Amino acid sequence: MSNIFWNSEERRLRMFWRLVLSLVVLAVVVGIISVVGAVLGIGVYMATGGQIPDVSQPDFMMKAQELNYQPIVRVFTMVFQGVGMVLGILVAGRLLDRRKFNDFGFHMNKQWWADFGFGLGLGAVCMVFIFLVELALGWVKVTDVIKPGNTLPFAAGIGLAMVQFIIVGIQEELFSRGYQLRNLAEGFNLRSIGPKAALLIGYILSSSVFGLLHLGNPNTSAISTINLIVAGLFLGLGFVLTGELAIPIGLHITWNFFQGNVFGFPVSGTQAGATFIGVEQGGPDWMTGGAFGPEAGVMGLLAIALGCWLTVLWVKRTRGSAKLLESLAIFKPQLGKQVAVVQPEIEVVDEINRSIE
């Protein structure tokens, strides 16, 4: 009977246990690093004249919570949280996956940066498409320009949003696509399934988890969740075609930033704060997404379809063809003793070579 915990061929835990333990590693590492960031942020806040609440006051807890929303504290917390995610995946990759960090999608060569630039442009193009179509149909009305947030001046609000969406783009793509999708694909790459089908399974499952993780967002509905699963497939497309996170990270950053802070739409149910354009949303909710934002409407799906088409065109232009990268489902250990994990066809060739010798 095979060991349900340990894969003797790969000399590591099986996929399910790697995913479970990686969550523990991330919770510990991200938690500790985030607390360090928050403490440093509070220290800088105090050093620049900020006041911390008095513990003897009856409203101490409320004031302490408000302290977390101070811009300098938020920046430190977000940045350190992002650092914690990177360190957590690095640790999990080495201890659980026997893999170097760059194999999660960070072979940062010239092509990687070109893909990243394409991803940044792609997110912007998709949101421009949504805005212009809704504007032409009279579903959105421009009510303001250079609109500050509720508590911050415009420049500070935009800067804070950029930091937030850069961190979110890196964190979510590294976790959902770089780590989760790849582990799922390798885990399902059984002899009866094969690498291509395994990659598709990992692709769909990781996108589904991505959508379900947003269930706690404001104004969530069944439609918004389904659409976010489709959005997860869109974000993951660049990864399954190239094996790199450059396109997904760039796309994720500008999709959110242009959606919220350029055009003033809600971002997955949340308001963006400072925006270049203030809008009044009209039109049917099933088309526009209503209070959740374009991601919950048909307009979001149309933008995703456009983005998928452009992604395939880009990959064809830069690689010569666009097809699923089956190697993402085939484990090749990068750390420790090299153990060959081969497919049945390769085993047959090796057997023939041995007989010839």
| Nearest alpha-carbon partner for 200 in 332, 345, 330, 329 | 329
At 120-147, the pLDDT tens digits run: 999 999 999 999 999 999 999 999 999 9
**Per-residue pLDDT, 56:** 67
Same domain, 36 and 163: no
Same domain, 41 and 143: no
pTM: 0.89
Question: End of a domain among 45, 69, 99?
Answer: 99
Q: Using pLDDT thresholds of 50, 70 and 90, give the confidence band for residue 60.
A: low
Tokens for 50? 């900020």
Same domain, 193 and 143: yes
At 69-79, the pLDDT tens digits run: 788 999 999 99
**Per-residue pLDDT, 329:** 96
Task: Name residues whose C-beta falls within 8 Å of residue 176's C-beta, 6 or more positions apart in sequence.
Answer: 206, 207, 209, 210, 232, 235, 236
pLDDT of 335 above 50: yes
Assess if residue 1 is contained within a domain.
Answer: no
Assess if residue 343 is contained within a domain.
Answer: no
Same domain, 240 and 139: yes
At 275-307, the pLDDT tens digits run: 999 999 999 999 999 999 999 999 999 999 999
Question: End of a domain among 99, 130, 153?
Answer: 99
Q: What value, to the nearest 5°, has the Cα angle with vertex 337 and ends 333 and 343?
A: 45
Note down the domain range covering 14.
7-99
Task: Give all strands (DSSP E) within the chain, no chain letters.
Answer: 6-7, 12-13, 140-147, 275-281
Same domain, 209 and 292: yes
